[in-house]
Amino acid sequence: MTSVDEPRASLSVRPAGHAVVRAGRGSSFLVHRRALAVAVVLAVLLAAAVVVSLCVGEAFVPPAEVVRVLLGLPSPDELVVGTLRLPRLVTGLLVGAAFGLSGALIQTMARNALASPDVIGVTHGAGAATVAAMTFGLTSYAVLPYVSVVGGLLAALLVYLLAWRGGLSASRFVLVGIGISVALGSLTRLLVTKGDYLVAQQAKVWLTGSLNGRGYDQAAPLATVLLLLVPFLLWAARAQRSAAFDEDTATALGIRLGRVRLGLSVLGVVLASAATGAAGPVDFVALLAPQIARRLTRTPQTPLVCSALTGALIVVVADVLARKLLSPLELPVGVFTALVGAPCLMWLIVRTRGNRSGGTA
Amino acid sequence: MTDERPAELSPVQDAVPAQVPVGNRLAARGLTLAYEDRTVVEDLDLEVPDGKVTVIVGPNACGKSTLLRALGRLLKPRRGAVLLDGAELAHVPTRRIAQVIGLLPQTPMPPEGITVADLVSRGRQPHQKWWRQWSDSDEAAVAHAMERTGTTDLAERPVDELSGGQRQRVWIAMALAQDTDLLLLDEPTTYLDIAHQVEVLDLVRQLNRERSRTVVAVLHDLNQAARYADHLIAMRAGRVVAQGPPADTVTADLVQEVFGLASVVVPDPVTGGPLVVPGPPGVRRNTPRGLPAHRKPIK
């Protein structure tokens, strides 16, 4: 025991790496310095990716013109950039951000880096519902998103009902979720195999996740959901800290862990369902984005803003590849998201091996 | 040397209300505690004396940790209630309780990759709001807690890398940063070597003396309990067998009744308090069968 009376002003006792922002009326906020820097860098990269994405396509548009269009100035390329390419890009941005957030929330809630909307039934529920609707002749892009949202939410509800036991246990939630996902995945494959060729073809593209033909019709509902969830996400950013504790320690600190877990997971489920409705279950974004973001920021909990930015960046870059790599053939964006995200994550894992700040995968 | 004190047990088990002090902040009334179908504690009344170090001792599975968990609302009573300032614990918001009762569970798990300062600062959680994430009083309480526990120099270290003793001090610092009047500790010395055990218990007693915090701890070691407790509670099979100041409570008969162990109680050469030495009076050597005389061979 040290019984030193001299002030130890030189050693900070604040949560490591945080700055305190005071905003009057006794309010104060903790900001993680590195996370803030990473967010700025990601935002800059994302802006660059947005411009590149709007430049490339069947016809190349110079970046200067793209920026003019984005700033609302008159430009000869307004039709190509503003009307044809921008709606699809906006959808991609929102889908990536929503999946990134969803993955971060569900991984935090489950205290498991392998958890994502894929393993708790949402994406497979959405997939099964959509493919079933296609099989029964419902192929309109105006209706399918809602079918998939309902399917995702129903599957998640089923997981909650089966996993609930006087509270929400993380491991039970994940286990039941995996079971339901596998069952629904099989059902989807069965429907695709039994269905006729055209339906199977369409279902396959949808199941990979595609931005082809997506625009403001898909982006608007997703944007609405994201906006409505902002207050809850602000809560979640803080509540995430609590979810990292075990039950006893959390209770000792006055945290109602069950409620925190339920809140975080419901947010994650709603986000994943809405994103799946807009572009199908775009592979791996929800799994990879939070892990990449966390390794970049080195925060003890998964950073929400950086996860959203990373998710958006992955989807936008993957979409550029999907459109250009085998041009004029357009591949679904879901083919490339893992291809873009996985090497980044591998590099970060290898680089931080043996480094304590990297966390475990 | 034999035990010269008259072997009397404090007759508390029949709950004579006049003998226990009234008006304590933390108390239990008719407490029945059970896991699934196994009842561990039945119809127990208990007063935790304010401003004192209370230590609960007893053999394994006697319900001492279970009782502590109930006092800290980690376990819901099957029947009866734990009262905090006269209010039933189950009806007080858990966050409100966390502002009054600090609690160190038996095996707390640190969040992955967290640093010492970060973990200790989590103790401020019950006092923080969404819009007040780090006030001056938070900073002061955390700095004080870390200084008191000698963890200031570890501030930037990840908790995963610490030794058992350091880690335990960090957890105590977290509970301390919570700045509560009551502190419940579930076997705070487990996994520590004897030097660290003494260090932690010295700290606990200092914390009690300084601000007359009420401390309740579960300890395995009867001698440590006797040394550090103001008020000793001996439990067996879910019942309180004896309680009171260690000097009046710890006798050879009590050790026999609670632990089923023959022993001699001598004055502790350092503190003068009771010191339990296993073995029946007068026997200095092992029996011919190679076992100490106080142990019967297991058949």
Q: Which is higher by pLDDT, A19 or B31? A: B31
pLDDT surpasses 50 at B9: no
For residue A325, what pLDDT is reported? 85
Q: Which is higher by pLDDT, B258 or A197? A: B258
Written as six digits, the tokens of B77 are 């009573």
CB contact under 8 A, A251 and B149: no
DSSP code per residue over A232-273? HHHHHHHHHHHHTS-HHHHHHTT--HHHHHHHHHHHHHHHHH
CB contact under 8 A, A360 and B111: no
For residue B33, what pLDDT is reported? 94
Q: Determine the distance in angstroms separating the CA of A222 from the nearest CA of chain B, rounded to an integer.
A: 27
Q: Which is higher by pLDDT, A7 or B247? A: B247
pLDDT surpasses 80 at B232: yes
For residue A351, what pLDDT is reported? 81
Q: Are A34 and A297 in contact (CB under 8 A)?
A: yes
CB contact under 8 A, B113 and A300: yes
For residue B243, what pLDDT is reported? 94
CATH number, domain A87-351, options 3.60.150.10, 1.10.3470.10, 1.10.472.10, 2.40.160.20: 1.10.3470.10
Query: Which pTM value belongs to this model?
Result: 0.85
ipTM of this predicted structure: 0.82
For residue B16, what pLDDT is reported? 42
Domain ranges for chain A, please list them.
87-351
Q: Which is higher by pLDDT, B243 or A329? A: B243
Pairing of strands B263-267, B239-244: unpaired
CB contact under 8 A, B74 and A251: yes
Which of B99, B109, B179 would you mutate first to test chain A, the one with the most A CBs within 10 A?
B109
CB contact under 8 A, A238 and B109: no
For residue B290, what pLDDT is reported? 56
For residue A197, what pLDDT is reported? 84
Q: Which residue of B has its CA nearest to A6?
A: B147
Q: Which residue of B has its CA nearest to A253?
A: B98
CB neighbours of residue B124 within 10 Å: 24
Q: How many helices (H) and strands (E) does chain B have?
A: 9, 12
pLDDT tens-digit series, residues B274-292: 999 998 776 555 555 555 5
* Mean per-residue pLDDT over chain B, rounded: 86
CA-to-CA separations, B159 to A31, A220, A258, B123, B168, in angstroms, rounded: 21, 45, 25, 15, 10
CB contact under 8 A, B112 and A360: yes
Which whole number is the average pLDDT over B187-191?
A: 86
Written as six digits, the tokens of A102 are 């969803």
CB contact under 8 A, B122 and A16: no
Q: How many helices (H) and strands (E) does chain A have?
A: 13, 2
Q: Are A330 and A88 in contact (CB under 8 A)?
A: no
Which residues in chain B are contacts of A12 at CB distance < 8 A?
Answer: 117, 155
Which of A107, A253, A296 would you mutate first to test chain B, the one with the most B CBs within 10 A?
A253
Distance CA A331, CA A324 (A): 9
For residue B293, what pLDDT is reported? 56
Written as six digits, the tokens of A91 are 């959808």
For residue A146, what pLDDT is reported? 86
Which whole number is the average pLDDT over B61-77?
A: 93
> Which candidate, A296, A297, A307, A302, places its Cα nearest to that of A348?
A296
Residue among B98, B132, B155 whose CB faces A12 most closely: B155
Give the three-class secondary structure for A20.
strand
Give the three-class secondary structure for A329.
coil
Q: Are B165 and B154 in contact (CB under 8 A)?
A: no
DSSP B115: B
Mean pLDDT of successive 10-residue segments in chain A (361 residues)?
A: 41 76 83 93 96 90 90 88 91 96 93 83 89 83 84 92 84 90 91 84 83 86 94 92 89 92 92 90 89 90 94 95 83 86 85 51 35
pLDDT surpasses 90 at B36: no
